[in-house]
Structure 1
Amino acid sequence: MSQFTAELIGTMILIIFGGGVVAGVVLNKSKAEGAGWVVITLAWGLAVTMGVYAVGNFSGAHINPAVTLSFAVIGEFPWAKVPMYITAQLIGAFLGGVVVFFAYLAHWRHTEDQGAKRAVFSTDPAVHHPLANLVSEMIGTFVLIMGLLFIGANDFTDGLNPVIVGLLIVAIGMSLGGPTGYAINPARDLGPRIAHALLPIPGKGNSGWSYAWVPIVGPIIGGIYGALFYKAFFIGEFTSAFWIGNVVVAAILIASLLKELSKENEQSTSKSNA
């Protein structure tokens, strides 16, 4: 199996299990309807585990452009392969979304909530605040990349690494997934979002393109910074890219905080005027 095919299939498996559990929980008349956040986070962790088991021996199972880019930035992956990996991941994620659509084909017309239908394919914030949402995705992916590098630095019994990675995803979802639904993977969000836009889903509404940049940009920034942070503090390589990353991340954090303070002041003023 080629690395392109492996990344495509691995990412498709990720979305089939991950998008599938969301569909089961949020679509009407599903036997899993209302099962809740714990079920979703556990299934996403298992989705990653299955994807890694399936294709890890062929491509390393990045199944995430943020992983591919982060590893390339710190020299753990060749830049020449980055476009091929990301293309395969996006196609695999799109196809995974299509599979989930057909798996729940009879349920779309029974679900009126457009947001629920879109949630099967892509993420949406619990509170719409683009900068804060961006920060949430950055932090989640920072932890993901750091965790992957931690896991890679330790010796586990053969075959257990995918399970440990899956548990990392569960932990991120349970602890950091609440604000945005923890895309932490540009392909995981963009590929199925495109599928949502193209598929004939009854009463689907819009595909949320105004928000779509957040789960792309956030994971890329957070992932790259996580890799640079690991290299700096665990390997001792304080590169110029690391210091640039500090400035970028600090600027985004400050901007998001100022925006939130501004919103709080506006809310307080409106309450006092009322």
Structure 2
Amino acid sequence: MYLVTVLGNLLIILATISDSHLHTPMYFFLSNLSFVDICFTSTTIPKMLVNIQTQRKTITYTGCITQMCFFFIFVELDNFLLAVMAYDRFLAICHPLHYMVIMNPWICGLLVLVCWILSALHALLQSLMILQLSFCRNLEIPHFFCERNQVVQLACSDTFLNDMVMYFASVLLGGGPLAGILYSYSKIVSSIRAISSAQGRYKAFSTCASHLSIVSLFYGTGLGVYISSSATRNSHSSATASVMYTVVTPMLNPFIYSLRNNDVKRALRRLFGRQL
């Protein structure tokens, strides 16, 4: 599954770079999302595979903090990029005449840069907060990676401030992009309903169907993990459920975009034809 995730997302990146027809804002954001998905899975899965192969389920304190830091960066980048892609679809469907003026290459690059900066600052804040905690030696984390909530629960010192920062960041950095996505799609649905012809409505909806599928998969699995873990308090079931958004969702993203998008399928055929 890890190899399929890396190769699938790498193909999306190569297709968007090699095909001039895909040099548009939508596919620029898609290639960035594919790169982030490769990094996202690479923060946890290789270590898990090594643990399975060697039967040594250990990680150093430094390694654990580093893993958490990169996990925060890439999960937030996924979150922000999905919101930016929703905004891109909103402009393309609701304001088509101004689309290319607003979403010029400079603005697209700036949006991605802001996503990286916000994600890095959030990861740095969370990592510094965890570094302030004290831990005993030889702790057992009931998870396949250093998941933040599981690690904080094992701390010997008071975690009230850490929990408050986590809840505030979740509402601000998690709820904000989700609210933006919901607002964008509410406007998109209103614009699509105003189109008179059925063919026009289908064409407009098909341009955002793949993105909507990925949004549903990402937020559905992520929220499902944390809702189920808080309801059952079973850390092992939470670890099993976490596989859905750390492994399965990044693996399915390339398939969703390649199978439901004719432009990507044509680009992949041209890419493989050129290689042959």
Q: TM-score with structure 1 length normalisation?
A: 0.27
User: Taking CA–CA contacts closer than 8 Å with sequence separation of 6 or more, which of the two structures ends up with the larger relative contact order?
Assistant: 2
Larger Rg: 2
